[in-house]
Amino acid sequence: MTYIDTHSHLYDEQFDDDRDDVLQRAFDAGASKIFLPNINAATIEPMLLLAQANPGRLYPMIGLHPEDLGDTWREVLPMMEALLTEADHPYIAIGEVGLDYYWDRSLYQEQQEAFGIQVGWAIKYGLPLMIHTRNAHREMVQVLTDVLNRNIDISTSRHPEISESRNPEIPKSTGVFHCFGGTAEEAEELLSFDGFMLGIGGVVTFKKSPLPNVLREVVPLERIVLETDAPYLAPVPHRGKRNETAFMTEVIAKLAEIYSRDAEEVALITTENALKTFPKAK
Ligand code: NI
């Protein structure tokens, strides 16, 4: 069995003492690839060094996390976008980006502005999005829809025949709604964005989680990618400890139970989903 962890912060300092061991355990458990979402300006270098040391296995993303805007985000974003203009840059996605109003709503508008700018990069540079959303479902859907619609207007005004010959469609954009934990209605709304997957990790194993029922009711396995969000959100029986990619086997076992499929099938289908969504990681 091989699987892909689409969301790990393995460059985090919590792994400084034993990062090589953690990686070896991941590969031994069946991880074929691990994707690394960026957090802020300071995490770019350790993330890149780690990816460069593991070519064909670890892949970096670029983006500014919604909880890390601070007071420098207007300078940080152009610096990050400049990285995307370099030929042969290594980034496979824009992430992680999004909205988080759980701890702090003081940058309510600024978070939406920064997220909208970074959704624009995904369209401009043809990369998938890794979207983080907490206590902000409505606003996230609104910003994403607004930016995608704005880009339809641009493309149809350049090509007026498109708007006449067929219904305007949302332009091709792909990605992951990371750490999905919402209701069935929210899942359906997110799945209406074609080309987007729901990222599922340790939370699905938590005893009181409503997520298994939501998945069974409205989410086909073909719309799921696996993720740890390491070092956070370790699955049962490691709950509360530092998470790592090797623990994904617990998530796979739980999904196999939810969908009445073999663990091998869950690993295979979610691997195909991940490679379809992140074509630069093939
Ligand atoms: Ni994350």
Which domains can be identified in the chain, with CATH numbers?
3-281 (3.20.20.140)
Q: Is the per-residue pLDDT at 271 higher than 60?
A: yes
96 alpha carbon – ligand 1 mean position (Å): 7
Q: Please state the rounded mean pLDDT for residues 129-135.
A: 97
Read off φ and ψ for residue 125, nearest 5 degrees. -105, 5
Cα-to-centroid distance, 10 and ligand 1 (Å)? 10
How far apart CA 248 and CA 271 sit, in angstroms, is: 13
Distance in angstroms (rounded) separating the CA atoms of residues 200 and 209: 12
The Cα-based distances of 227 to 162, 201, 202, 215, 253 in angstroms read 38, 5, 8, 15, 14
Ligand 1 center–CA 131 separation, angstroms: 9
Confidence band for 164, pLDDT divided at 50, 70 and 90: very low
Assess whether pLDDT exceeds 80 at residue 154.
no
Q: What is the pLDDT of residue 162?
A: 46
| 217, pLDDT greater than 50 | yes
At 129, give phi and psi (nearest 5°).
-105, 140
Pair of tokens at residue 234: 């370790």
Ligand 1 mean position to 14 CA, how many Å?
A: 14
Stated pTM of the model? 0.93
Cβ < 5 A residues, ion ligand 1: 229
Mapped onto helix, strand or coil, the DSSP state of residue 196 is strand
